[in-house]
C-alpha cells in the first residue's frame, strides 16, 4: 500500500508470480482488507481508448466503496473528494492503473470515481462493498472546470455515454457525505 495526499484513498501493488506460462496473482484477500465486506463484483469493457466513464458515486444508504483493478489494458483512474468539510473537498487524485503493473486503487465512500481508457479493449474489474442501486446512482460532470482534472483526452475526443455527458457540476450537487477525519 502507498500513501496518497487525500485521506481515505489507498493504492495497492499486487504481487505477480510469473513463469513461462504467464502469471498468477491474488487481486483480493481478506488479510489485506479485513475491514472491507465486498458484496458485488463488476467488470467494464471499453472497446476504444479515450472512453471516459464517470464521475460516479452512490448516495446513502447505498454508498459504494470500490477496489479497482485493470485486467487488460490501462486507464487513468480518478477519485474526487466530495465529503462536506473535508480539508481536500473538491480535490482529485489520479493515477495510471495497468494490467501489466496490476496496481489497484481503493475508492472509499465519499468519493466520485471515474476513469479514461488509455488502450483499446480495456477490462476494468472492481469489487464493491454495497449492491448497485439505480435510485441512488449519482455523478458529477467528468470535465467540470472547477475540478480541473488533467484527463488524457479532451472533450472533442472523449467517448462518453449520454448519461455521463449530462451530469451536473460539483457546485450543482448537494453532497450526501460528511468528512469524519
In a domain, 3, yes or no: no
Could you tell me the pLDDT band of residue 5, with boundaries at 50, 70 and 90? confident
Check whether 167 has a pLDDT greater than 80. Answer: yes
Q: Across 66-129, where does the E strand assignment appear?
A: 66-72, 74-81, 83-84, 92-98, 103-107, 111-117, 122-128
Q: Which of 28, 109, 126, 132 is catalytic?
A: 126
Check whether 143 has a pLDDT greater than 60. Answer: yes
CATH code at position 162? 2.60.120.10
Q: What is the mean pLDDT of residues 63-80?
A: 98
In a domain, 181, yes or no: no
Q: Which of 56, 57, 109, 113 is catalytic?
A: 56
Q: What percent of the chain has pLDDT over 90?
A: 87
Residue-number span of the structural domain to which 78 is assigned: 10-15+38-173
Residue given cell 455521463 in the structure block: 164
**113: annotated active-site residue:** no
In a domain, 21, yes or no: no
Check whether 1 has a pLDDT greater than 80. Answer: no
Could you tell me the pLDDT band of residue 3, with boundaries at 50, 70 and 90? very low
* The predicted structure's pLDDT at residue 109: 97
Q: How many domains does the chain have?
A: 1
In a domain, 163, yes or no: yes
Q: How far apart are CA 178 and CA 181, in angstroms?
A: 9
Q: What is the mean pLDDT of the chain?
A: 95
* The predicted structure's pLDDT at residue 4: 65
Q: Shortest CA distance to 125 belongs to which of 72, 59, 177?
A: 72
Check whether 65 has a pLDDT greater than 80. Answer: yes
DSSP letter at 165? Answer: H
In a domain, 4, yes or no: no
**136: annotated active-site residue:** no
> Is 142 within 8 Å of 166 (Cβ atoms)?
no
pLDDT tens digit string along 79-95?
999 999 999 999 999 99
Q: What is the pTM of this model?
A: 0.94
Amino acid at each position: 500500500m502507498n500513501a496518497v495526499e487525500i485521506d481515505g484513498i489507498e493504492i495497492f501493488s499486487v504481487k505477480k508470480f510469473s513463469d513461462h506460462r504467464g502469471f498468477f496473482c491474488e487481486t483480493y484477500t481478506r488479510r489485506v482488507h479485513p475491514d472491507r465486506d465486498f458484496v458485488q463484483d463488476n467488470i467494464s469493457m471499453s472497446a476504444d481508448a479515450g472512453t471516459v466513464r464517470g464521475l460516479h458515486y452512490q448516495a446513502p444508504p447505498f454508498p459504494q466503496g470500490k477496489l479497482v483493478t485493470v485486467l487488460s489494458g490501462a486507464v487513468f483512474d480518478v477519485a474526487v473528494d466530495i465529503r462536506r468539510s473535508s480539508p481536500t473537498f473538491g480535490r482529485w487524485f489520479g493515477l495510471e492503473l495497468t494490467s501489466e503493473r496490476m496496481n489497484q486503487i481503493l475508492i472509499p465512500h465519499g468519493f466520485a470515481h471515474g476513469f479514461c481508457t488509455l488502450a483499446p479493449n480495456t477490462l476494468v474489474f472492481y469489487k464493491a462493498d454495497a449492491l448497485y442501486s439505480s435510485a441512488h446512482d449519482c455523478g458529477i460532470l467528468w470535465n467540470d472546470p472547477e475540478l480541473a482534472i488533467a484527463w488524457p483526452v479532451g472533450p472533442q475526443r472523449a467517448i462518453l455515454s449520454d448519461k455521463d455527458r449530462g451530469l451536473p457540476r460539483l457546485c450543482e450537487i448537494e453532497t450526501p457525505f460528511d468528512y469524519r477525519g
